[in-house]
């Protein structure tokens, strides 16, 4: 192990080790909250395994578990260690959780062997870190509104109309917007998800409540409407349970079209509006139609099928449609879908 005093001579800033937390309770929380980015360099097979499996038994691993920032791993190890199936499984698990890996590179290794496992070069690592730090402020001072989850429309005291939306995609978009410096408001129907940190979170139940919450929080630069809002609701809601023999007909009424009502009103429309669509047939044509009729900047569309059953899943397969082109993407994590969308939003403000 390198002596702490030697490292201190080489860098500017503070150095912490396991002993540091003895006199500073919750140091692992403080360090991650005060940082803009978390970089693990070099990332050993041991630390990758610990983080992948939720171990937190020292300052480094505890800080990783506690982090609410983007995490970068710079792996360095023997080629066989890197290619080991267990290590590969751990790497994949972390990537699914949003951790990004830089390297390893191919070349001479410290053990004397040659192969994939070499730490990426200093200049490459430095440039990537600088790029991420710049990205963490790309939407600074921008206000962003995100809707997520389903809405529930009560029929009586025990029944309701709803859909399969889990809210995962919307919550991840809110998180990624927060990570690039935006001031985020997340309005969500009922889910089992923990809202991302450092955002304003508003929970609603019905389409009517979501419509009201959106209108109250519309002083925003960007609006991303991922929520699966119920199209209809019972015209009359019973306070008692309707007996099944009397449950013969439910009279429905249309719910407000939140996206359309906001986008077509120039006095309240945000600068950049993203709509979401879930389609089973003619999904690109339907997305193009929705883009025009609801005057959005982008439509993100899912083609719902047995191969792409996105509800409740950590994965999604989408196409992003704008006025000029259609970008189709393969199956990826909802985290990566969110990152792609956020990059498109950033590009809009950098034109």
Q: Are residues 22 and 128 in the same domain?
A: yes
The pLDDT mean for the chain works out to 91
The pLDDT value recorded for residue 4 is: 58
Q: Are residues 122 and 148 in the same domain?
A: no
Q: Are residues 131 and 168 in the same domain?
A: no
> Over 60: is that where the pLDDT of 343 sits?
yes
The pLDDT value recorded for residue 47 is: 96
**Which of 118, 135, 152 represents a domain boundary (last residue)?**
135
Q: Are residues 301 and 214 in the same domain?
A: yes
Contacts 24+ apart (CB under 8 A), 286-292: 287/319, 287/321, 287/326, 288/321, 288/326, 291/321, 291/322, 291/323
Q: Are residues 54 and 29 in the same domain?
A: yes
Distance CA 148, CA 188 (A): 5
> Over 80: is that where the pLDDT of 7 sits?
no
Whether residue 1 lies inside any domain: the answer is: no
Distance CA 251, CA 286 (A): 28
**Which of 117, 135, 153 represents a domain boundary (last residue)?**
135
% of the chain surpassing 90 pLDDT: 70
Q: Element (H or E) spanning 226, and its range?
A: none
Q: Are residues 95 and 162 in the same domain?
A: no
Whether residue 329 lies inside any domain: the answer is: yes
Residue 39 class from Cβ within 10 Å (0-12 exposed, 13-18 middle, 19+ buried)? middle
**Which of 135, 151, 183 represents a domain boundary (last residue)?**
135
Whether residue 8 lies inside any domain: the answer is: no
How many domains are contained in the chain?
2
| CA nearest to 189, candidates 156, 172, 211, 174 | 211
Q: What is the bridge-based pairing of β-strands 318-321 and 298-303?
A: antiparallel
The domain that holds 56 is classified in CATH as 3.40.50.1950
Give the mean pLDDT of 262-285: 94
Distance CA 42, CA 65 (A): 18
Looking at per-residue pLDDT, the higher value among 9 and 323 belongs to: 323
pLDDT digits (tens, 9 = 90+) for 137-183: 899 989 999 999 999 999 999 999 999 999 999 999 999 999 999 99
| Domain span holding position 210 | 143-349
Q: Is the pTM of this model over 0.85?
A: no
| CA nearest to 110, candidates 211, 196, 42 | 42
% of the chain surpassing 70 pLDDT: 97
Q: Are residues 190 and 260 in the same domain?
A: yes
Q: Are residues 107 and 234 in the same domain?
A: no
Which range (63-77, 127-141, 212-226, 250-264) has the least confidence?
127-141
The pLDDT value recorded for residue 291 is: 96
pLDDT digits (tens, 9 = 90+) for 55-92: 999 999 999 999 988 899 999 999 999 999 999 999 99
Q: Which residues are catalytic?
A: 111
């Amino acid at each position: 192990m390198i002596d702490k005093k030697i490292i201190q001579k080489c860098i500017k800033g503070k150095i912490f080790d396991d002993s540091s937390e003895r006199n500073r309770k919750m140091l692992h929380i403080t360090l991650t909250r005060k940082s803009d980015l978390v970089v693990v360099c070099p990332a050993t097979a041991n630390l990758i395994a610990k983080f992948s499996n939720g171990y937190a038994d020292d300052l480094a691993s505890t800080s990783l578990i506690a982090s609410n920032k983007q995490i970068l791993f710079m792996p360095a190890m023997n080629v066989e260690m890197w290619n080991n199936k267990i290590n590969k499984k751990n790497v994949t698990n972390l990537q699914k959780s949003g951790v990004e890996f830089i390297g390893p590179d191919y070349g001479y290794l410290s053990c004397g062997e040659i192969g994939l496992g070499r730490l990426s070069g200093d200049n490459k690592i430095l440039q990537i870190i600088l790029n991420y730090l710049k990205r963490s402020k790309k939407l600074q001072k921008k206000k962003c509104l995100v809707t997520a989850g389903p809405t529930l429309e009560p029929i009586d005291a025990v029944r309701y109309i709803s859909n399969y939306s889990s809210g995962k995609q919307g919550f991840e978009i809110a998180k990624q917007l927060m990570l690039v410096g935006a001031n985020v408001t997340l309005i969500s129907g009922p889910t089992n998800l923990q809202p991302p940190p450092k955002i304003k979170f508003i929970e609603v139940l019905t389409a009517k409540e979501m419509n009201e919450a959106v209108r109250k929080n519309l002083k925003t630069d960007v609006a991303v409407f991922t929520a699966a809002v119920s199209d209809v609701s019972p015209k009359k809601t019973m306070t008692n349970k309707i007996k099944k023999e009397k449950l013969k007909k439910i009279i429905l009424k249309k719910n407000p079209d939140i996206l359309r009502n906001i986008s077509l009103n120039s006095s309240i429309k945000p600068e950049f509006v993203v709509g979401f669509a879930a389609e089973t047939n003619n999904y690109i044509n339907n997305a193009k139609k929705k883009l025009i009729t609801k005057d959005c900047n982008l439509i993100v569309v899912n083609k719902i099928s047995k191969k792409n059953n996105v509800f409740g899943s950590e994965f999604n397969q989408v196409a992003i449609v704008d006025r000029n082109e259609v970008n189709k993407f393969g199956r990826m994590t909802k985290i990566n879908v969110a990152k792609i969308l956020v990059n498109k939003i950033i590009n809009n403000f950098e034109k």
